[in-house]
Structures are given as structure tokens and as C-alpha cells.
Structure 1
Amino acid sequence: MTEKLTLTGLSTRPAQTWGGVRLVPLVRDEPIEDLRLDARLHDDPGLDEDPRGHYDGPGLDVVEIGRRDHYISYIPHAFVATWTSDGTPAAAYGTQLRDAAKDGPAPRRMPLRFHRRMARREDRNRLRFMPQHLAMEGYLALHFGGPEIAWKEWSHRAISRGLSPRVEEAYTGTQVRGLADALRVFEIHPGQCGVVVYAADALAAAFVVPHPADYRALHATLVHDLYGELIHHYATLTMPVPDFRARIADAEVRSLADLRAAARHQTEEWAAFHDRFMAAGLLGPEYTYQRVYTMGRYRLSRFLPPFERRRENHIGELITDENGRLAYLKTFRLSENQVRRGHLLTELAACDWNLAATAAALGVTEPELGLRIEGAGFGHLLRQDVLDRYRAHARRSGRTR
């Protein structure tokens, strides 16, 4: 299923800026009461799924996603979704914090924490899932099995193991300059249930939750999220972004009612500008959705972009109700290199991993495609003699030009 992403049920409020970071609040007129989100911190020994384990400080999480497939990353917390079956208000599932004074200083070794599945039901009306990593795992699993037909160009490893292991790099929010300060000092609006994060006015991420109380509890978790190479680069090297200030012509104001109407008009104009232009790279494309879990009248899904080159491409996960109203959203912007890898894998899969057919579809020669595959980090999928032949052809072509 492919369709556009919409911020149904949310309205945009004026942005706040801090250096190169711009935060755009998203507000609900009516909060969602029968679905609540809360964070489960992985530094709580009582929440480890391995009863033999104990807390050893920040480490790596290993998530079992198949019989032989595992997802490994730093995952600081999970989200717990709690819902009711009859539409009555639900209460957020509480968060427990580690007491540093009681537990003592963090140990020197890095632990491994093991989890079963990205989304796991824990009770009749409670689901634990890994925020953002649910979407990242979907991107890493893109055509993960590799060639389905044993064409002669592919190595034995490509046929037997596919793309395993598949690795991508990202930065935590603590490494995005200005983000932690922006989250600390910015005002949270009444009714705010989400935010769109920009670095140097490049859309970095969108985050939406069902209820204003959930947002207040989870606002600070944005600093632990993952951000792409482009966002880290922009935040580090760019100058402060300008603030968009409302301007009201005093000649048109004759009363408080006129002033309120003018202020409302400015707010509506800003919201239209943001949704139509600034967020166009997120809201414009058609995404491919995959349903992950059904929670009563809600559905947890993740989505992949069309992988169009030299354009914004976002992956993410969301929860929607039966009417399509957005309850939860978390996105990650792919770097150009990640888009290139996704585009290349998609084209190869569409052509049944036939190199000649894929090269024709991309408008390049087969040796050029082979070198593209190597440049994307997938050179190990090709037989060594085939790759050497492509390199030799490239050198000869260079000499003849």
C-alpha cells in the first residue's frame, strides 16, 4: 500500500529557533484519550527481559527479529503503548528512573541487552516497541535476502547470506549541535502533542504522540534519537537560522477583535507556509507502508520512501486509528548515500537482480553499474573476477577518453 503522510488532527504553531535548530510545535484540538505512550528506560534493571541480567550502564541492544536475524544498536529506551478497547481514557504506563545515589557510579564495561522482536505485546492492552528503530530495521531489511536467482555475477556469499550483515551509521541527538539546548529552553505550547525538528532549515525529524501529557514526558527523549549525517553536518557548520516574525499593519487594527483576527491570520499563514513548503519533503511523497501490529482500533505501521535521488527521503513509523487520524509518528531523514543504496537495491530487486537489465533501466553500462554497487558498499556481493573485470574496463575507458 502506498499513500502520502498526513498530519490529520494536528495544527502547526509558530516556530522557535535556537542557533541553527528550529522547532515547529504541533498541537491537537482534541487529545487522544484511549491511547497513551510512555518511555521504558533500558537502564532500569527491573525492565530487562533477561531475568538473569543486571544493569551495567549504557550499552548495545540486540533485538531478535527472526530465527537467524538480529538488529544491533544503541537503543536508550522503548515506548510502551497502552490502549483501551471501549474508548475510555487510558493511563500512561509509568517510567522508572535509575537512582544513581543508590545504585552507585556507572560501571566500566558495556553490557548487551537482549530483546525479543521490535514490537512485542506484553498484556492484553499494552505493546512495547522500539521507537525509530522499528523504522530503521525496515530500511535495513530492504531486499535483505539478496539475489533470488543465482546469476553468474553474484558471489556465493550473496546467494547464501544476502546482505547480511547490513550496517548504517547515524548520530544521536547529543551530537547534533544546539538540539539539547533547544529542547531545554523552548516553550511547550498548551495542547502540544508533537514537533517538527529542523537543522539549518533542513527537516530532520517529526515526532507526534497521542496526548499533551505524553509529549511533556517524552519531549526530552528527542535528544536520544538518531539523526542522519546531513543533519549533523548542517547543525555543526551552519549559522543561526532567521526567526519568522509576524507583522501586523497597525492601520488595519481598530479594536481588540481586529487584533485577534490579524494575529490568527498570521498564525494560519505561517501554518500554511510550513506545511506546503518547509515540510513538503516529508508530506509530499508517496510512501510504502507495512503493517506491524494491530492494537484494537489502532494500527502500528512503518513506511519507506520512493528513494528518489537528490530529494528528501524519510523513513518512519506511525500509529493511526480506523479513520486515519495520526496518533503517533517518528521519522528519520536518510542521507544521500543511504538514499542511493536504497534506490540501487530497489532497482536491482525490480529487475530480479539481473545486472544487464538493471543497467539498462538505470541508463548506464553494466561495468558502471558494478562499480556503483561497489561504491554503495555492496562490492562483496559480486564475484571478485567480475569486479576486477569491471575495474579494468573503467581504467581502459578512462584512457580512451
Structure 2
Amino acid sequence: MTTSLDLTGLAARPAQVWGAVRLVPLVRDEPIGDLRLHAELYGDAAGLVEVGPRHAYLSYVPHGFVATWTGDGTPAAAYGTQLCAERDQVPAATMGLRFHRRTARRQAKDRLRFLPLHLSLEGYLALHSGGPTIAWEEWSHRAVSQGLSPRAEEAYAGAEVRGLADALRVFEIHPGQCGVMVYVADALAAAFAVPHPDDYRALHPTLLQDLYGELIHHYATLVLPVPDFRARIADTRIGSLEDLRGAAAEQEEAWARFHDTTMAAGLLGHAYTWRTVHRMGRFTLARLRPPFRPKEENHIGEAITDDSGRIAYLKTFRLSESQVRRGHLLDRLAAHDWHLPDAAAGLGIDTAQLGLRLEAAGFAFLLRQDVLDGYRKRARTGRG
């Protein structure tokens, strides 16, 4: 299913700024009471996540989320954050390894444990991971027999993003707040939303443990503080407290409109491919991925929606330009059954240029060495 991301029911409130970090609160008019989230903390041990038979990946997995729901619309209980038991703590002198069975796993009839962001990252890592569907002559034996495995991508923990820890620490949580949009140098780093204000208060610190892309880390390190957007009300319009309240409401609405149509346009203004991961009563957990538009803003993510399509939970990750290029190339190859000449024609380039793009994207191992050498020679001599 392909559709846009709709944040109906979540309204942006005035931003708070700390250095290059701008945090925009998302407030619900009416909390979702029959779905609740809490965190399970796993510590600093690396995580080995089994996603299927003979398929797994190794990653930093600091915490998981547990979703609890009811089948009749009555309020669900909030279990609260669960700390690691003492016997699960990792000895200081060793590097621990925690095993996780699947990125989303049912724990009880009305409870599902899933790994935040890992649903979407696993979907990106697994993108066309089987490799060529037809053994065209250009592809290497490894590409045909093993596909893209093993594949690695890099990200930064929130603690490594300069200024984010302080911004989260001093952030004033709004009444009714159920989410936040995180900007670094006014580039959207992540969107995060939960069903209930109590869930947000409990999970607000986990933003520091989340993963952020290369661009965001770069901006946080090199960019100067961003300006604060302050509301200005002409005193000539104000004759009473009622006038002041009305003018303040207008400014708040204008800010929300500017945020949704300008600052968050790269996230909200495009269609995504949604893939259902798990159904939970009237709720659906899904991962979403973009069409990989080069030189544009691209986000992957995961969401829980209710039976009317309203977002109950959302977490997104902004891809770097190199990650977008890799996704775009793989999509184009898959769309043409991994036939290099057809894929190159679809991109408006010749086969040698496509081969060199694959090499630059880190996919040189997919091509036979003699084929790649031929593409390099054609590039040097200027032959088409």
C-alpha cells in the first residue's frame, strides 16, 4: 500500500530551541486510551536480532517498546518502564551480546514487544537483499548466490548528537503532549509520537538512545545555533484580554500551519510504501519507506495506526544522501529485473555509468571484476 503520512489529531505547538536543536511538541486533542506503550531497557550490550530463518543482524539495541491494548476500547493499563534485572547486567570488563527473536514479537494476547526504529532499519537493510533475480552475465557469482548479504549501514546514537542531551533535559513538556519533531540546524532528524501523554513523559528520555543519521550528526557538530521563532502581536489590535487570547491563538495556528507545510514538508508531503508487520486488535503496526528520491529529504519509519488510519505511534529516521542513492539504485535494478542495460536506460545513462554508480555506492562486489574493469576503462577513454 502506498499513501502519505497523515498526522491528523496531532497539532504542533511552539518550538523550543537549544543551540542547533529545535524541538517541536506534538499535542493530541484527545489521547488514545486503549493502546499504551512502555519501554524495556536492555543496557549497552550489543544486540543480535533474528529476523527469520538464517537471517539476523547485529546492532546497538538499547531498549524495546511494549504495546498493550484492549479489544473493547476500554483504557489499557500502563505497565511502566522495566529495568534490567541484576542478573542480566553486563560485566564491565566484557562486551555483552543480547539475543532478540524478531523485531516484533507477541508477548501475550494483548501485548507486543517491538524494537523501535529497528523495524524500519531492518526493512531498509533487507531491501532487495536477495540480489539479482536473473543471473545476467554482468553479475558476480557472489551476487547471484548470496545477494547483498552481509550488508552494513552506519548511524549515531542520540548521545553522540551534539546538544541533543541538553535540549531534551531542559525541554518543557506541554500539557497533552504525545510527541515531538526533532530538528537539527532546522533539518528534520526524527518524528516521534505515542498514544498517551503519560507514555510520552515516560519515553521522552529514550530519544537520546535512538539512532540518527550521518547528516544530523554532521549538522549538530558544525552548524551555529538556530534562531528562535518568536510570535509578535501588534498592540494596536489589543483592547482586551479576549483580544489578546484571540491574537495568541492566531499566532499558534499560523505557527502550526508553517511547521506542517514548510518545516515538515519533506516528511509529510510525500507518499510512502506501507508494509504491515503485525495486527493488534483495532491497531496495525507497519513499517514505511519512501520512493528514494535522490537529492531530496527521505525518511524511513514505523507506525501504529488505528482502524480509522489515525497515527497512534510513529518513529522515523532520516536517511543520508548515500543511503538514499543506494536505495534508489536497488529499486531501479529490481524494477528492471536486475537487467543492467534496461535499468541504465530507465535512468537515462549508459550501462558503464550505472556500473560505476554501483561501485561508488558500495556495490562493486555485485559485478564481475572483468565487467567492472571494462566499465572503468570506458570511463577513462570516454567511450560510451
TM-score range, shorter chain: over 0.9
CA drift at 1:65: 0.8
Q: Helix, strand or coil: the match of 1:65?
A: strand
Query: Which residue, 185, 188, 193 being the options, matches 1:208?
Result: 193
Q: Answer yes or no: is the 8 Å Cα contact 2:13–2:25 preserved in 1.
A: yes
CA drift at 1:393: 1.3
Counterpart Cα distance in 2 of 1:104 and 1:350: 47
1:187–1:369 distance in 2 versus 1, CA, 3 Å: same
Query: Which residue, 82, 87, 106 being the options, matches 2:68?
Result: 82
1:300 matches 2:273: no
Counterpart Cα distance in 1 of 2:200 and 2:91: 28
AA partner of residue 387 (structure 1): L
Q: TM-score, normalised by structure 1?
A: 0.94
Instruction: Please show how residues 164-313 of structure 1 align to structure 2 within 5 Å.
Output: 164-313=149-298
Query: Which residue, 74, 86, 91 being the options, matches 2:77?
Result: 91
Query: Which residue, 119, 135, 138 being the options, matches 1:134?
Result: 119
Query: Which residue, 313, 320, 323 being the options, matches 1:335?
Result: 320
Counterpart Cα distance in 2 of 1:175 and 1:107: 21
* Residue of structure 1 equivalent to 2:23: 23
Q: Helix, strand or coil: the match of 2:227?
A: coil
Counterpart Cα distance in 1 of 2:83 and 2:117: 21
AA partner of residue 92 (structure 1): A
1:64 matches 2:50: yes
* Residue of structure 2 equivalent to 1:350: 335
Counterpart Cα distance in 1 of 2:51 and 2:301: 18
CA drift at 1:42: 1.0
Residue deviations 1:87-145, cap 9 Å, x none?
11111223233588x99995111111111111000100000000001100001111111
Counterpart Cα distance in 2 of 1:106 and 1:198: 36
Instruction: Please show how residues 1-40 of structure 1 align to structure 2 within 5 Å.
Output: 1-40=1-40
1:105–1:311 distance in 2 versus 1, CA, 3 Å: closer
Residue deviations 1:65-90, cap 9 Å, x none?
11111021001000000001111111
Q: How many residue pairs are counted as aligned between the two chains?
A: 384
Q: Helix, strand or coil: the match of 1:392?
A: helix
AA partner of residue 294 (structure 2): R
RMSD of Structure 2 on Structure 1 (CA): 1.5
Structure 2: state its 5+ residue gaps.
Answer: none
* Residue of structure 1 equivalent to 2:144: 159
Q: Answer yes or no: is the 8 Å Cα contact 1:8–1:324 preserved in 2.
A: no
Identity fraction in percent:
68
1:377 matches 2:362: yes
Q: Answer yes or no: is the 8 Å Cα contact 2:34–2:74 preserved in 1.
A: yes
Counterpart Cα distance in 1 of 2:254 and 2:157: 33
Structure 1 ranges of 4+ moved more than 6 A: 102-105
Structure 1: state its 5+ residue gaps.
Answer: 44-57
AA partner of residue 191 (structure 1): G
Q: Answer yes or no: is the 8 Å Cα contact 2:46–2:61 preserved in 1.
A: yes
Q: TM-score, normalised by structure 2?
A: 0.98
Q: Helix, strand or coil: the match of 2:57?
A: strand
Counterpart Cα distance in 2 of 1:79 and 1:321: 18
1:98–1:121 distance in 2 versus 1, CA, 3 Å: closer
